[in-house]
């Protein structure tokens, strides 16, 4: 089923902040098989010039889609989640994410388009601290296989 | 921050040797838990096949994370990655056996930017298939 184009331009703000913890960073690093001590050990991170352990570059995927997820689950959008695969992903950093950061995300559906038999939907998520300091912007494009057929 | 690669010592065309990263079902289960992406195509073979996939496939983000690991291991500092983007061009099929699949990542410095930054172009393959395309990282060097 074609996706509802009326959703383009809609913005969804996170309802609660996301508190980045050392435990979650360690868990994520373990899951991607990365033993880098800068993800696990505050002393190693500080020796490398960081205030605390650093989150891996792809870590924001853990929380950045929570606010946009509400949109993707909206029946009016017409997305069949069972047919969704990931199309593109980008992380643009102003600064690294550290344990102790308290972050909020504002997600905007920037584009919905057809490509062959598929439907493509792009979400931009602007991540800032609770004080409004910009930290990272992510761009996420999902593909609904067969959605345009 | 302390990248260990010196900008002045790197030329365009510099090649970063290929590295193999294994992916087995266990990795996908761990990644599902850590990332919160519990889409069944990443752990349930019955479901994956029912929606037309050949088998369970890796999370695209797991593959991207291996690309990130490749770059951060090269530069020596995870905080040095200032921009990282990929397109997922092919699926990584992960069979339910002891070997799983292998993602091979290599890189080349494609461009030198101002402020001691470089663009690293990544190639990621599983078997003969390119699993990432347009994979680029902008990295802050020392």
DSSP string, A66-85: HHHHHHHT-GGG---GGGEE
Neighbours of A38 (CB within 10 A): 27
Mean pLDDT of chain A: 94
Q: Which of residues 3-22 of B touch A (CB under 8 A)?
A: 21-22
Kindly report the nearest CA distance between residue A130 and chain B, in angstroms. 21
pLDDT in tens, A51-78: 999 999 999 999 988 777 888 889 999 9
Distance, in Å, from the CA atom of A86 to the CA atom of A106, rounded to the nearest integer, reads: 20
pLDDT-above-70 percentage for chain B: 99
Average pLDDT over residues A99-121: 96
pLDDT in tens, A31-55: 999 999 999 999 999 999 999 999 9
Distance, in Å, from the CA atom of B139 to the CA atom of B80, rounded to the nearest integer, reads: 5
The phi and psi torsions of B50 (rounded to 5 degrees) equal: -65, -25
pLDDT in tens, B66-113: 999 999 999 999 999 999 999 999 999 999 999 999 999 999 999 999
Q: What was the pLDDT predicted at A147?
A: 85
Distance, in Å, from the CA atom of A117 to the CA atom of A37, rounded to the nearest integer, reads: 44
The phi and psi torsions of B105 (rounded to 5 degrees) equal: -115, 135
A102 has a pLDDT exceeding 90: yes
Token pair for residue B77?
């500092």
Q: Identify the DSSP state of A55.
A: P
Distance, in Å, from the CA atom of A87 to the CA atom of A142, rounded to the nearest integer, reads: 5
Q: What was the pLDDT predicted at A68?
A: 74
Q: Is B46 on the interface with A (CB under 8 A)?
A: no
CB contacts, 8 Å: A50 with chain B: 1, 79
């Amino acid at each position: 089923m074609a996706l509802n184009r009326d959703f383009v331009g809609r913005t969804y703000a996170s309802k609660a902040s996301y508190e980045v913890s050392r435990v979650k960073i360690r868990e994520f690093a373990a899951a991607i098989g990365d033993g880098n001590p800068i993800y696990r050990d505050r002393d190693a991170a500080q020796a490398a010039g960081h205030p605390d352990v650093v989150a891996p570059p792809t870590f924001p995927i853990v929380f950045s889609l929570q606010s946009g997820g509400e949109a993707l689950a909206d029946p009016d959008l017409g997305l069949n989640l069972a047919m969704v695969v990931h199309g593109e992903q980008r992380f643009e950093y102003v600064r690294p994410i550290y344990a102790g950061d308290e972050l909020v995300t504002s997600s905007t559906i920037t584009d919905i388009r057809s490509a062959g038999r598929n439907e493509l939907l792009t979400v931009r998520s602007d991540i800032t601290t609770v004080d409004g300091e910009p930290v990272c912007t992510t761009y996420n494009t999902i593909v609904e296989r067969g959605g345009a057929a | 921050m302390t990248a260990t690669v010196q900008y002045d010592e790197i030329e365009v065309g510099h090649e970063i040797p290929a590295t193999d990263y294994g992916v087995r079902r266990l990795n996908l289960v761990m990644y599902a838990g850590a990332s919160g992406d519990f889409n069944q195509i990443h752990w349930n073979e019955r479901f994956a096949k029912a929606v037309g996939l050949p088998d369970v496939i890796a999370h695209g983000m797991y593959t991207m994370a291996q690309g990130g690991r490749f770059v951060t291991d090269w530069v020596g500092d995870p905080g040095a990655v200032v921009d990282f983007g990929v397109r997922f061009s092919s699926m990584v099929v992960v069979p339910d056996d002891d070997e799983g699949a292998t993602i091979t990542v290599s890189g080349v410095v494609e461009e030198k930017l101002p402020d001691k930054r470089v663009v690293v172009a990544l190639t990621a393959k599983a078997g003969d298939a390119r699993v990432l395309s347009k994979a680029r990282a902008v990295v802050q060097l020392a």
